[in-house]
């Protein structure tokens, strides 16, 4: 197991280098440069040139890359071109918000998907099964921004039950309840898609397990159907679901961009859009890199959990 983890981490290193190179190439394809953002009609060109020199934008690209990489290896993601803040701390203060929303959405999504998936499998080909399978398709097919807009329209504007956005009531002092209240709608906007994808997965996985002999044995022993389904079958049916939960992580980052923008949630999705609009390349590079590392880490964790949960799986 340990050797497997070490090998996976070693494989991840060249991949990470590749990611930094790709990242750098992408950013350097951009026309214009961040200094343009400072420009007003009466800015003297010498001043712009000085600023470019300060930011190191006049160096050859290869030099810029290695400078950035060197800093990166010492744990420095650089400084924002537009606000001069450290990119690391800029991302750090936002990442927590994104993860908070992401984890809430994952939990909510699974809470919706688990009972529906199990019931659909147990009552295969029933009306309930068809309805839920159909609804799961709607869940995966509805764009997050449209769902988010509908949620805002219905629950915030028409009914007035929930806030339209932000993380806490302005000037209201905040408090845990208030914060949770603000998380409800954005979490739902993210969770519906997750639930839709998971329902079909849990259903299929459960159907596979339900056919197996050991369940017949369990019933023959006289165990109640409820125990057979929810204890004996579910445990094995959940194993493949672990991998798919891991696959949701990159999706959550993508969803964050849209949902955070819509709900004014100060996470890294919103930061991405702000950085793009201000051509803040150092922040964009940092964001892409952090996101890629989180995804690689999540993939590794998923595989490790998978082998822990299912001893039949051996990694070499």
Partner 1 sequence: MSAVEAPVPVAGGVAIPAQPERSEGAFRQMARRFVKHKMAVVGFVVTSLLILIAIFAPWLSPHSPYAVTAEFSAAPSASHWLGTDQVGRDVLARLIYATRVAVIVGFGTVAIYVTFGTVVGLLSAYLGGWVDMIVMRVTDMFMAFPYMMVILVVVSVLGPTLGTLVLVLALFSWPSIARLVRGSVLTLKQMDYVKAGIALGLSTPRIVFRHILPNALAPIIVNATFGVAAAIMAESGLSFLGMGVQPPTASWGNMLTDAQSISVMTDQPWLWLPPGIMILVTVLAINFVGDGLRDALDPKQ
At 33, list the tokens: 């440069």
Residues 186 and 263: beta-carbon distance below 8 Å: yes
Give me the least distance between CB of 54 and partner 1, in Å please.
Answer: 23
* Beta bridge partners of residue 79, listed in sequence order: 86
Question: Which CB atom, from 50 or from 149, has the smaller least distance to partner 1?
Answer: 149
User: 3-state class of 86 per DSSP?
Assistant: strand
User: Residue 280: which residues within 8 A CB-CB, separation 6 or more?
Assistant: 34, 80, 81, 82, 83, 274
Give me the least distance between CB of 115 and partner 1, in Å please.
Answer: 20
Question: Which CB atom, from 203 or from 232, has the smaller least distance to partner 1?
Answer: 203
Give me the least distance between CB of 6 and partner 1, in Å please.
Answer: 17
Give me the least distance between CB of 283 and partner 1, in Å please.
Answer: 11
User: 3-state class of 85 per DSSP?
Assistant: coil
The footprint of partner 1 (CB under 8 A) covers 11, 14-15, 18-19, 22, 26-27, 29-31, 125, 133-134, 137-138, 140-146, 149-150, 152-153, 157-158, 164, 250-258, 261-262, 269, 272-273, 276, 284, 287-288, 291-292, 295-296, 299
User: Residue 222: which residues within 8 A CB-CB, separation 6 or more?
Assistant: none
- CA 64, CA 94: separation in Å to the nearest integer? 26
Question: Which CB atom, from 3 or from 158, has the smaller least distance to partner 1?
Answer: 158
Give me the least distance between CB of 145 and partner 1, in Å please.
Answer: 5
Question: Which CB atom, from 253 or from 265, has the smaller least distance to partner 1?
Answer: 253
Question: Which CB atom, from 56 or from 134, has the smaller least distance to partner 1?
Answer: 134
- CA 61, CA 29: separation in Å to the nearest integer? 11
């Amino acid at each position: 197991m340990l050797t497997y983890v070490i090998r996976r981490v070693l494989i991840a290193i060249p991949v990470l280098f590749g990611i930094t190179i790709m990242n750098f190439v992408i950013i350097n394809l951009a026309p214009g440069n961040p200094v343009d953002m400072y420009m007003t009609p009466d800015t003297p060109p010498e001043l712009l040139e000085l600023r470019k020199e300060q930011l190191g934008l006049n160096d050859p690209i290869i030099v810029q890359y290695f400078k950035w990489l060197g800093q990166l290896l010492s744990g420095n993601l650089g400084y924002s071109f537009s606000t001069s803040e450290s990119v690391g701390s800029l991302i750090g203060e936002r990442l927590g918000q994104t993860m908070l929303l992401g984890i809430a959405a994952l939990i909510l999504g699974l809470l919706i998907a688990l009972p529906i998936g199990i019931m659909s499998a147990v009552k295969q080909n029933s009306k309930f099964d068809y309805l839920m399978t159909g609804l799961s398709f709607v869940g995966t097919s509805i764009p997050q921004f449209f769902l988010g807009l509908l949620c805002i329209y219905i629950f915030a504007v028409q009914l007035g039950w929930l806030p339209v956005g932000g993380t806490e009531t302005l000037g209201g002092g905040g408090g845990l309840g208030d914060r949770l209240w603000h998380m409800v709608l954005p979490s739902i906007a993210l969770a519906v898609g997750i639930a839709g994808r998971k329902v079909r997965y849990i259903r299929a996985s459960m159907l596979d397990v339900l056919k197996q002999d050991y369940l017949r044995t369990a019933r023959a022993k006289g165990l109640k159907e409820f125990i057979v389904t929810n204890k004996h079958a579910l445990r094995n049916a959940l194993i493949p679901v672990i991998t798919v939960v891991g696959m949701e992580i990159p999706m959550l980052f993508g969803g964050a961009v849209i949902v955070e923008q819509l709900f004014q949630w100060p996470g890294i999705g919103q930061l991405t859009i702000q950085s793009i609009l201000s051509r803040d390349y150092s922040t964009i590079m940092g964001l892409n890199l952090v996101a890629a590392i989180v995804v690689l880490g999540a993939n590794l964790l998923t595989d490790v959990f998978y082998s822990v949960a299912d001893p039949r799986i051996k990694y070499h």
